[in-house]
Structures are given as C-alpha cells and as structure tokens.
Amino acid sequence: MKVVIATSNQGKLKEFETLLAPLNWQFYSLQDLGIDSPIEDGATFYENALIKAKHAATISGYPAIADDSGLCVDSLNGAPGIKSARYAGENSSDADNNLKLLESLENETQRNAAFVACLVFFDPNSDEDPLSAEGRLEGEIARDSQGKDGFGYDPIFFISEENKTLAELGKDYKNKNSHRAKATKILLNKLLKEK
C-alpha cells in the first residue's frame, strides 16, 4: 500500500520508515508528491496532526500518517509546545530554537520537560474514524548543546537515566525510546489489527 507521511522533514520520514517497516508499505513524503504543507492552526498536537493527515490524504488520494510533536517545558507553562518548530520565529533553524530555549531557561533551576508526539492515520477512502496515538518522553533541558546525532531539540534534551542528551544517545536509542517511537508503536499495533 502507498501511504503519505505528511512531512517534508527527511529526518522524520526516515524515522517513520524504520518504525513502520513491519507494515511493508511504500512511504512518500509531501515533497516526493509535490504537496505543500497545510497551515497548522490547531490548538493541540492532535488537531494539527489531523489537519496534516487530512490535507495529504485528500490531495494525494492515498492514506496519510501525520504527526505533530513538540517539546513541553514545565517551567514555561508547556511552551514551546505546538510552536516548537517556530519557537524562535517563522523559518527559524533548529539551532535558533535551541538557543532561544536555552536563553529562556538561563536562570531557571526547574528544567523538567517532555517531548510529546501525536500521530494520526487518515484514509480518504474509508468511512472509519482516523486512528490516533500519543507518546511522551520525559527528560530535562540541558544547560548547553551536546551531541550531533539527531535533529530539533535533541542536542539539549537530557535523559537523566542515561546521563546524556538524545543527540548523544543516537538513532538506535531514539528509535526505541522517543516520544515518536512510543506513539508509532501504539499506532503500528492499531494498524496491524486493521490489516
């Protein structure tokens, strides 16, 4: 089956291809199909994931999987949250977002945070309700950037049990333990039951 992963982020596409390999589906990114990203104006991770999945599925005619995820920092009342990709402004880089977050927490001792991912599977050819799943990864924000293996906030997201940032722990660890991996495992189980 052909399925759209509703992202233009090649790092996310590769992560999903690995995590969803048991389905033996062909995955395409928005970029592969020439589809622009929709405006994400939802108020929650679920709403934004649903917007992206419906958009990709409606335009392509294929089922779509979309995620919305972000970093929620306790002492910032859940920010950056749904604005994680744009925390330092529109078109900001990962480095810009990381720097802004580190500056926001410069004098903060309470640095607990969680990555949250919500996934939605939407099939435009089905009357079934969309499937969804949520995953979380608890940690804290490091005082500086460490590690090169990852993207987004990985270099400053510290896992105390491992005494390393997510970027230092590498792809194998992330593919097993990340918020997206946890949500994808839940969604994968739901999809395998539907098959």
Domains of the chain listed by start with CATH number: 2-194 (3.90.950.10)
0.85 surpassed by pTM: yes
Q: Which listed residue (32, 41, 68, 127) is catalytic?
A: 68
pLDDT at 9: 82
pLDDT at 195: 65
Dist. CA 185–CA 193, nearest whole Å:
12
Whether residue 175 contacts residue 19, with contact meaning beta carbons closer than 8 Å, is answered with: yes
Task: Check if 94 is active-site.
Answer: no
Could you say which residues of the chain have pLDDT below 50? none
